[in-house]
C-alpha cells in the first residue's frame, strides 16, 4: 500500500508536468484553431442567461438570412471563451464593449461608447474584429438590498467608503480579479471590502446570497429583472468605473461579409429597454431564449 | 412541475439524450480497448500492476471538472474535451476488474487448457477472457453508470448533454428542467445497465441456470 | 513544466495561507462538508443495512433502489435543492449524502448476508436473542465490508465535494471553479493537487484503520 501511495503521488506529479504544456497560455498544441470551413458560423456565449439570449438572437438572425450556424452556448467566462474566438474555435460572441476593453487593457479609462470602441479597435488582435455596437447596455453594478441602502444611506458606490470594510461583496469568481470588479473598486473608489465571495454570474445564486444576507453587496447586471423583483438598489457609478457597456458582437476575421452585415443590422434595433424586456421573458416567464430571440427578430423585421 | 414546458420540449430532450450518449459511450469503448491489453499484461506481470494501480488511483481521484479544463487547451470546444477524461476514469475502473477476472480463472482450468494443447493466445481468448467476462462486465456497469452521471459536469464548460438542463435550471431558477434532467439521467443509466446485464447473459450462456 | 513551477510558486505565496480564500480555511471547509456528509450517510445507511440484512426483508428492493440512486447525477441533485431552498450548506450536504448512501448501504447489507447461516444458528442455539445476534455476531463479521463501503463513499465524497463551489460555497472546489473563471491555472492545478492528496490520504487512513482492527481481532 505504501508503495502504491508513493506511486500515486509520482503519477500525479507526472500528470501535472504533462498538463504543463496545456496550461501554457501560449497554447502550442491547440488544434481547435481551425476556423470553421464551409462558411458555418459558430456562435458562442458566456455562462449567463442574457449572453445566451444575445447569442440566440445572433444565431437566429444569421439563419434567417441563410447563413449556416452552429451554437456553442453557455461555455464560461470571458477569460475562457475569448481565447476560443481568437483561435477560431468560435466565430461570433456577444460582447459588452466596456468590459471587453477592460479585459484587454486594464488601465484604460475610456467611458463613452465612442471612446471605448476607438480604444478597443486599437487593442483587438488581428484575428478579432469589432462589429457595430447596439444602443442596448448592460452594466455591471454594485447592488445592495433596500434595507442596506437605507441603513447606510447608500446612493452611489462612493457612499460605500466608510462602510465597505464591514461588508462582504459577492459576484462571479472573475469579478475579484477584474479591473471592472474588486480591483477597480479599490483603485477608483478606494473601497476595500471585508471579504469577497465567489458566486455565480449575476444569477440566482448571487441573488439568493444577497437576499439571505450571506453577502451585503453583489455584482448584478443592470438589465436583470431580479433587481426589480427583489427591490434591490443598484448603486450609481459616478466615476464611471463600469463605463459604456454596449452590446457588441465580436467576430473572428474568418467570418464572411454576409454574416457581418446581418449582425450589424441588429445593432440599431436593440436598446436597453428592449433587452430588459426580453430578459424578463426568459428569466421570469421562463420562455426559451431561442423562441424569444426569433419572435423579437420577426417583430423588428429581421427574420 | 411545468408540464406544458415538458411537452413542448420533447424533441429537445431527444437531442440532449443523443448528445449525452455521444459523450458517455465512446469513453466506455475506448476504456475497454485500452484496459483489456493492459489488464492482461498486468495479470502477467504483477510489478507492472503495482505501477498501473497506483497511477489509476491517483487519476481516479482527480475532480472531473479540473480534467475537463485541462483538456480545453488541447482539444478546445470539441467533445474530445469530455471524452478523454472519462476514458481515463473508465480505464481506472476496468483495469482492476480485468486483472481480478483473469486471476479468478481456476488453475485447474488453465492447466487443462494447456493439456489440451491450447497456445497462450488461444487460451487467453477462448478460455481465460470468457471466464473473466462477468467480472469485466461488472466493471463496465460501474463505469457506464458513473460516466453517464459525470457527462453532466461537462455542462459547466458548455457541454454536458442532459447536464445543460441543470445549468439552465440553476441560471433561471427554473425547477422543471432540473427535474427532467435528473429523471432522464437515471433512466438512461438504468437502461444502459440493463443492456449490459443482457449482454452478459448472451455472452455467457453457460452461467445461466 | 512552466505551469508546474507556477503552481509550485502558488503554494509558496503567503496569501495562499491566510484569510477566507487561504488553503487552511478551504481545506477545513472541505473537511467539514466531507465529514458531515459521511457521518449523516453512515448514520442512515449502516443501521438500515444491518436491519435489512438481519431480517432479510426488502433486500432485493434496497439493492435495486441503491443501484438506481447511484445513477443520480450529483450536479442535478445539487441544483435541485439550491433552486428549492436557496444557497447554503443544505444543498451540498443533501447531494453528498445521496451520493454516499448507496455504497454504504449495499456493503453493509452484503456484509450481514455473507455471515454463514451456521454461525447465526449456532449463536441462536447458544440462546442469543435477535438483537444479540445482530450486535455480537453479525455486525462484527460484517465489519470489513462495512469499512469497504465507508471507504468508497468517503473517497467519492472528498472528490465530489468540489461541486459545493458551483453554488457559491467554499471548500477546495473554489480553486477549481475560480481558476476556470479567472483562467488562473496555478490555482486550478494547486486545488486539484490538494483534492487528490486528500483522497489518497483518506484511502491511507482507511487502510490504517483496517490493519488496526485486524491486529486487535487477531490479538483477542
ipTM of the modeled complex: 0.87
Q: For each of chain A's 303 residues, which pLDDT tens digit applies?
A: 444 555 555 555 455 444 443 333 333 333 344 444 458 999 999 999 999 999 999 999 999 999 999 999 999 999 889 989 998 999 999 999 999 999 999 888 888 999 999 999 999 999 999 999 999 999 999 999 999 999 999 999 999 999 999 999 999 999 999 999 999 999 999 999 999 999 999 999 999 999 999 999 999 999 999 999 999 999 999 999 998 999 999 999 999 999 999 999 999 999 999 999 999 999 999 999 999 999 999 999 998
Percent of chain C with pLDDT over 90: 69
Chain B residue numbers touching C154 (CB-CB < 8 A): none
pTM: 0.87
Domain-embedded: residue B207: no
| CATH number of domain containing B174 | 1.10.3720.10
Q: Which of C66, C75, C95, C167 to mutate to test the interface with B (most CBs of B within 10 A)?
A: C75
Q: Tell me how many degrees the CA angle C4-C6-C10 measures, rounded to the nearest 5.
A: 115
Tell me which residue in B2, B58, B158 faces A75 most closely, judged by beta carbons: B158
Query: Does C83 reach chain A within 8 Å, measured CB to CB?
Result: yes
Structural element, H or E, at residue A129 = strand A128-130
Task: Render pLDDT for B96-135 as a digit per residue (tens, 0 to 9).
Answer: 999 999 999 999 999 999 999 998 899 999 999 999 999 9
Count: domains in chain B: 1
8 Å CB contact between A280 and A225: yes
Give percent of chain B above pLDDT 70.
99
CA distance linking residue A47 with residue A200, whole number of Å: 9
Smallest Cβ–Cβ distance between B66 and the set C75, C77, C176 belongs to C176
Interface membership of A131 toward C (CB under 8 Å): no
Shortest Cα–Cα distance, C86 to chain A (Å):
6
On the question of pLDDT at C67 being above 90, the answer is no
pLDDT at residue B209, rounded to an integer: 52
Q: How confident is the model at residue B205 (pLDDT cuts 50, 70, 90)?
A: confident
Q: Determine contact: B17 vs chain A, CB below 8 A.
A: no
Helical segments of chain C, H only? 2-12, 23-55, 59-70, 74-85, 89-113, 117-125, 130-132, 139-160, 173-182, 185-219
Under the banding of pLDDT at 50, 70 and 90, the label for residue B80 is very high
CB contacts < 8 Å between B and C, how many? 105
Give bridge partners of residue C69 from the DSSP assignment. Answer: none
Across the A/B interface, how many CB contacts are shorter than 8 Å? 103
Provide, as residue numbers in chain C, all residues whose Cβ is less than 8 Å from the Cβ of A74.
none
Q: Within a domain: residue B206?
A: no
- The residue length of chain C stands at 220
Structural domain includes residue B81: yes
Please indicate, yes or no, if residue B208 is contained in any of the structural domains. Answer: no
Question: Between B26 and C183, whose confidence is greater?
Answer: B26
Which residues have CB under 8 Å from A94's CB, separation 6+? A45, A51, A54, A55, A57, A58, A247, A248, A249
Q: Do C2 and A200 touch (CB under 8 A)?
A: no
For residue B209, is it within any domain? Answer: no
**Predicted confidence band at B172 (pLDDT cuts at 50, 70, 90)?**
very high
Q: What pLDDT is recorded for position B19?
A: 94
| Cβ of residue C209 closer than 8 Å to a chain A Cβ | no
Contacts of A63 (CB under 8 A, 6+ apart): A69
Residues spanned by the domain of B124: 3-201
**And the C-alpha cell for B36?**
483489456
Does some domain include residue B128?
yes
Q: How near does any CA of chain B get to the CA of A230, in Å?
A: 14
- In-domain check, residue B94: yes
Nearest CB neighbour to B163, from listed C75, C83, C167: C75
Q: Quick one: pLDDT at residue A106?
A: 84
State the maximum Cα–Cα separation within chain C, in Å, rounded to a whole number.
70
pLDDT at res. B186: 94
State how far residue B155 is from chain C, nearest Cα, in angstroms.
10
Inside any domain, residue B116: yes
Task: Flag whether residue C207 sits within 8 Å of chain A, measured between CB atoms.
Answer: yes
Which residues neighbour A58 within 8 Å (Cβ) at sequence distance 6 or greater? A43, A92, A94, A249, A263, A266
Q: What value does the mean pLDDT take over residues B35-47?
A: 94
Buried b (16+ CB within 10 A) or exposed e, C43-55: eebbebbbebbbe
> What string of DSSP letters covers C56-117?
T-SHHHHHHHHHHHHTS-HHHHHHHHHHHH-SSHHHHHHHHHHHHHHHHHHHHHHHHHTS-H
Amino acid at each position: 500500500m505504501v508503495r502504491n501511495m508513493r506511486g500515486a503521488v509520482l503519477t500525479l506529479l507526472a500528470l501535472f508536468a504533462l498538463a504543463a504544456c496545456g496550461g501554457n497560455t501560449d497554447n502550442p498544441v491547440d488544434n481547435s484553431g481551425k476556423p470553421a470551413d464551409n462558411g458555418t458560423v459558430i456562435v458562442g456565449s458566456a455562462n449567463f442567461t442574457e449572453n445566451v439570449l444575445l447569442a440566440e438572437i445572433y444565431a437566429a438572425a444569421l439563419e434567417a438570412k441563410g447563413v449556416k450556424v452552429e451554437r456553442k452556448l453557455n461555455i464560461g467566462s470571458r477569460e475562457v471563451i475569448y481565447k476560443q474566438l481568437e483561435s477560431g474555435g468560435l466565430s461570433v460572441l456577444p460582447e459588452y464593449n466596456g468590459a471587453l476593453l477592460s479585459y484587454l487593457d486594464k488601465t484604460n479609462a475610456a467611458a463613452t461608447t465612442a471612446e471605448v470602441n476607438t480604444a478597443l479597435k486599437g487593442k483587438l488582435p488581428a484575428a478579432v474584429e469589432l462589429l457595430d455596437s447596439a444602443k442596448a447596455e448592460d452594466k455591471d453594478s454594485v447592488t445592495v438590498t433596500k434595507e442596506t441602502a437605507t441603513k447606510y444611506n447608500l446612493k452611489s458606490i462612493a457612499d460605500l467608503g466608510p462602510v465597505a470594510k464591514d461588508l462582504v461583496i459577492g459576484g462571479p469568481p472573475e469579478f475579484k480579479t477584474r479591473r471592472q470588479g474588486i480591483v477597480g473598486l479599490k483603485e477608483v473608489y478606494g473601497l476595500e471590502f471585508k471579504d469577497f465571495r465567489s458566486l455565480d454570474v449575476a444569477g440566482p445564486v448571487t441573488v439568493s446570497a444577497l437576499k439571505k444576507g450571506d453577502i451585503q453587496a453583489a455584482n448584478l447586471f443592470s438589465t436583470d429583472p431580479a433587481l426589480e423583483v427583489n427591490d434591490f438598489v443598484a448603486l450609481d457609478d459616478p466615476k464611471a468605473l463600469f463605463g459604456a457597456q454596449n452590446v457588441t458582437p465580436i467576430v473572428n476575421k474568418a467570418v464572411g461579409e454576409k454574416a457581418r452585415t446581418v449582425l450589424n443590422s441588429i445593432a440599431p434595433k436593440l436598446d436597453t429597454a428592449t433587452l430588459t424586456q426580453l430578459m424578463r421573458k426568459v428569466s421570469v416567464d421562463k420562455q426559451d431564449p431561442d423562441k424569444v430571440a426569433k419572435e423579437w427578430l420577426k417583430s423588428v423585421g429581421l427574420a | 412541475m411545468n408540464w406544458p414546458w415538458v411537452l413542448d420540449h420533447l424533441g429537445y430532450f431527444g437531442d440532449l439524450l443523443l448528445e449525452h450518449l455521444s459523450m458517455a459511450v465512446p469513453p466506455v469503448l475506448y476504456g475497454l480497448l485500452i484496459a483489456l491489453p493492459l489488464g492482461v499484461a498486468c495479470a502477467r506481470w504483477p510489478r507492472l500492476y503495482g505501477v498501473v494501480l497506483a497511477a489509476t488511483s491517483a487519476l481516479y481521484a482527480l475532480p472531473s471538472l479540473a480534467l475537463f479544463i485541462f483538456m480545453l487547451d488541447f482539444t478546445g470546444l470539441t467533445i474530445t474535451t469530455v471524452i478523454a477524461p472519462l476514458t481515463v476514469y473508465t480505464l481506472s475502473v476496468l483495469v482492476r476488474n480485468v486483472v481480478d477476472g483473469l486471476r479468478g480463472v481456476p488453475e485447474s482450468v488453465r492447466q487443462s487448457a494447456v493439456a489440451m494443447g491450447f497456445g497462450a493466445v488461444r487460451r487467453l481468448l477462448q478460455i481465460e477472457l470468457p471466464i473473466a467476462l462477468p467480472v469485466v462486465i461488472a466493471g463496465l456497469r460501474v463505469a457506464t453508470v458513473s460516466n453517464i452521471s459525470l457527462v453532466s459536469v461537462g455542462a459547466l464548460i458548455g457541454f454536458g448533454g442532459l447536464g445543460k438542463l441543470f445549468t439552465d435550471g440553476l441560471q433561471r431558477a427554473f425547477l422543471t428542467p432540473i427535474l427532467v434532467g435528473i429523471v432522464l439521467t437515471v433512466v438512461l443509466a438504468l437502461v444502459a445497465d440493463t443492456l449490459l446485464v443482457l449482454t452478459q447473459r448472451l455472452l455467457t450462456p453457460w452461467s445461466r441456470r | 513544466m512552466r505551469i508546474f513551477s507556477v503552481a509550485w510558486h502558488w503554494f509558496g505565496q503567503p496569501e495562499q495561507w491566510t484569510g477566507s480564500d487561504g488553503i487552511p480555511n478551504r481545506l477545513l471547509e472541505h473537511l467539514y462538508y466531507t465529514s458531515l456528509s459521511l457521518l449523516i450517510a453512515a448514520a442512515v445507511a449502516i443501521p438500515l443495512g444491518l436491519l435489512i440484512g438481519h431480517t432479510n426483508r426488502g433486500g432485493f428492493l434496497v439493492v435495486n433502489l441503491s443501484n438506481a440512486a447511484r445513477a443520480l447525477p450529483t450536479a442535478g441533485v445539487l441544483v435541485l435543492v439550491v433552486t428549492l431552498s436557496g444557497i447554503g450548506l443544505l444543498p451540498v450536504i443533501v447531494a453528498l449524502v445521496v451520493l454516499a448512501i448507496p455504497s454504504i448501504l449495499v456493503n453493509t447489507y452484503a456484509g450481514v448476508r455473507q455471515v454463514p447461516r451456521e454461525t447465526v444458528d449456532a449463536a441462536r442455539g447458544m440462546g442469543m436473542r435477535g438483537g444479540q445476534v445482530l450486535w455480537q455476531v453479525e455486525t462484527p463479521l460484517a465489519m470489513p465490508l462495512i469499512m469497504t463501503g465507508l471507504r468508497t463513499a468517503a473517497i467519492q465524497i472528498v472528490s465530489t465535494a468540489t461541486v459545493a463551489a458551483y453554488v457559491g460555497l467554499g471548500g477546495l472546489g473554489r480553486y477549481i471553479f475560480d481558476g476556470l473563471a479567472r483562467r488562473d491555472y496555478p490555482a486550478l492545478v494547486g486545488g486539484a493537487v490538494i483534492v487528490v492528496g486528500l483522497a489518497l490520504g483518506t484511502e491511507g487512513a482507511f487502510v490504517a484503520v483496517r490493519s488496526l482492527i485486524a491486529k486487535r481481532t487477531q490479538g483477542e
